[in-house]
Structure 1
């Protein structure tokens, strides 16, 4: 039980025996514990070094146990001092890493814009940002599901950030609730202390760290083209405002989406808006992260509820009835 304080199991066994019967000598301790005489002597030497036994005042040459409230409290204080010193060393190392990282990347930040073209480079940069985050991490995650390898890679980094006290807020698409793996990941994420919400459509992929650095796709329509890292205070501030606006209208994870006065769920209202803007079933499906068949089923249901016989009439009825 006390191995973390430097007390071996053998020494602890002898110490407990002496506390129960302080007058036991080596021979009696041998019989009482089942240990050999040599093991008893080694344990007594260890206990003496840790000030858990001391010479008797009344019977010189005999050892008596020190009170646990005194002896073990001293060991705990010593262990706490070592932990505090180790923590100071870690904080000093962390500060040195920040200085080294700033020196290493200072030449990249002159224009306050860094382009990342390779997926490996983007992954490494995300790891660096997750490790260096001090206060807050905000993110947009479009699409219906996360790739398993991406989720596996981000898990330990997110967990370490949350354990350091970093606040994490993530916005996903409503459609992610249809993917069991992504749903399980979001549930695990929330249980660790992260806050997760969903909206029908997420503008684009985005990560903001400490409201100082933002990572965005070079082309929101094709994330494979690379990413842009932004350090401009004005641009990052504007992105934070946009995030807060989306966050305020999003549905918290674990709660059902709220319907409006017309009985429309956010996803249904967004589908009507997309089709009203001229999107096809296919492009609306991509925007919402749903299958084309699901879009067609939703639209058929909306058309029926609007009392329409065609999509055109459904759109006109939606405007006339105040659904849009």
Structure 2
């Protein structure tokens, strides 16, 4: 009954006997309880330490039980206080556990990667992890990995991963940029061009993403950094951002050179015409188109005029509308 207070069954039995009898000697307790003398003495020692019995001095050794309401009440109060302290300790430990678990989950879902080597390594990992599709937004300025510098990209394409790439218009001013896009599109990769992208971004299978935290120009000279994301809510947010940019970006169409002479009249746009038209649709100037395709400026202007004649329009704006309406770039 009182084991919680520190009494073993023998001590409890001896105390009950003393409470009932009022007092008793060791011999009397042995006789009434039927317990061995050594156990009775051990029980009396325990009871005395707990303040439940007192030893009377006199010619005969006798023990008197302390009033239960006082003696046991004090023990109960002490136990209640100990239990309260244990409850406080439990609450503190539970809160520490929850905090540690939350921090661990946060580290698993969002990780900040610092340093060019670490960012490059994580970029490779994201591409290697893809099994179906990769959504990429690429700025003209590259702080860590430039176009065509990732070996994981070719490996992903060979595995059948589908790339959906959005590039900034400024990238087309770089020598060979358009040809590089064409090379990717030969592998059934999709590409669109927009004036500006809000950020660099790569998302693999709509499950993991890498977003740079540092500016591409890195004016302060600090180390490049990026955020590696697994949190489903953040992935959905990033995919929403990507899709909003994709919807307003201009598609780039893959066409092969036709080999037809440029000054021979045709009834349909040639492959070269469509390449020129693709660049026009993403805002490239005649000079930029000529540089990209290795043509003379007058040749580009002549091919544009030829397409306007085919579409029976008088402005380039009308040419763009007719090109979309006729499906020349679809």
**TM-score, with length taken from structure 2:** 0.42
**Whose helix proportion is higher, 1 or 2?**
1
User: Which structure would you say has the larger Rg?
Assistant: 2
